[in-house]
Structure 1
Amino acid sequence: MHTRALFPGTFDPLTLGHQDLISRAASLFDEVIVAIAMSPGKRPLFALAERVSLAQVVCSEWGNVRVAGFDGLLIDFARSQNANVLVRGIRSMTDFDYENQLAGMYRQLMPSLEVLFLPARSELSCVSSTLVREVALHGGDIASFVPPGIADAVHRHLSHR
């Protein structure tokens, strides 16, 4: 059976934590789709097309990973992609509680979709897109939190605001 996994998120910006989870998922599944949500309610720093483009560069090292943007319900996107696994990263117990609630909702909406929680590596558990944006907004160096090229893109974007 071909296993197609979705790894969804806003990825604004994509971090080393995301990159690690993508790499680990790529070794577990036949195909991984990095599903980038439009998420207008989160007021992302980058437009969806920019986030997709940045993620494509980061994900180019894995032959079984592709990147796709989507708008709307994650479950609808999962169905449209014939995904049978949903990968979610967990950094803390707070993440677990929230993600576990979502997993219950996903099971109700799409019983055939298996949800897999991957814990963050301990050295990356403090890294979140929100914190990376906050550090960057205040002129801090984010290079140790994001893949090569992402820090430059963030700083370029912020300098044009």
Structure 2
Amino acid sequence: MKKIALFPGSFDPFTKGHEDIVLRGRQIVDEVVIGIGHNSQKQRYFPIETMIHCIKEAFKEYDNVRVESFVGLTAGFAKKLGAKYLLRGLRNTTDFEYENSIAQINKNIYPELETILLITSPELAYISSTIVRDIHRYGQNVEKYLPYKLPT
């Protein structure tokens, strides 16, 4: 049976830290699905269509990475995909506290779902989508934080 991992997030934007988790995760499982969720509590900065295009471009050389968007619960989307694993990155202890709670809820909803937590590579741990958005919002170049070029 194919081992599929879902790497869910709003990815607004998808950063080099996210890329690091996908590249390392694809060595553990057969396929990684980058799932861009529609979060009703968040107003997107970058359009979801732009992120889908940019992420697909970043991973075009990898046949075991694909990108999809979804609405609803992550566990429900994982089940629909046949994914038995959730792939998540940890930058710090705050991330761990959050991911621990989410992993337990997801396991309760979809008992076959296991969460794989990867520690972000130290040289990328300071990068967050929030910081990148803020830098971009004020007209600064963010290319060194992203694994793709933003469309102009």
Pairwise TM-score range, normalised by the shorter structure: over 0.9
TM-score by length of 2: 0.95
**Which aligned pairs between 1:20-59 and structure 2 lie closer than 5 A?**
20-59=20-59
Unaligned runs of 5+ in 1: 157-161
**Which aligned pairs between 1:140-155 and structure 2 lie closer than 5 A?**
140-150=140-150, 153=151
Q: Does the 8 A contact of 1:107 with 1:113 survive in 2?
A: yes
Deviation at 1:4, TM superposition (A): 0.5
Which residue identity lines up with residue 140 of structure 1 in the other structure?
Answer: Q
Which residue in 2 is equivalent to 1:137? 137
Which residue identity lines up with residue 45 of structure 1 in the other structure?
Answer: Y
TM-score by length of 1: 0.90
Deviation at 1:58, TM superposition (A): 1.0
Choose 138-147 or 76-85, whichever is displaced more. Answer: 138-147
Q: What is the rounded CA distance, in whole Å, between the counterparts of 2:56 and 2:83 in structure 1?
A: 19
Q: Does the 8 A contact of 2:57 with 2:148 survive in 1?
A: no
Q: What is the rounded CA distance, in whole Å, between the counterparts of 2:46 and 2:148 in structure 1?
A: 17
Q: Does the 8 A contact of 1:26 with 1:62 survive in 2?
A: no
Q: What is the rounded CA distance, in whole Å, between the counterparts of 2:148 and 2:46 in structure 1?
A: 17
Deviation at 1:2, TM superposition (A): 1.6
Aligned positions, number: 152
Write 1 or 2 for the structure with the bigger share of helix.
1
Partner SS for 2:144: coil
Which residue identity lines up with residue 125 of structure 2 in the other structure?
Answer: S
Q: What is the rounded CA distance, in whole Å, between the counterparts of 2:30 and 2:106 in structure 1?
A: 22
Which residue in 2 is equivalent to 1:121? 121
Q: Does the 8 A contact of 1:49 with 1:69 survive in 2?
A: no
Unaligned runs of 5+ in 2: none
CA-atom RMSD in angstroms: 1.1
Which residue identity lines up with residue 11 of structure 1 in the other structure?
Answer: F
Q: Does the 8 A contact of 1:30 with 1:64 survive in 2?
A: yes
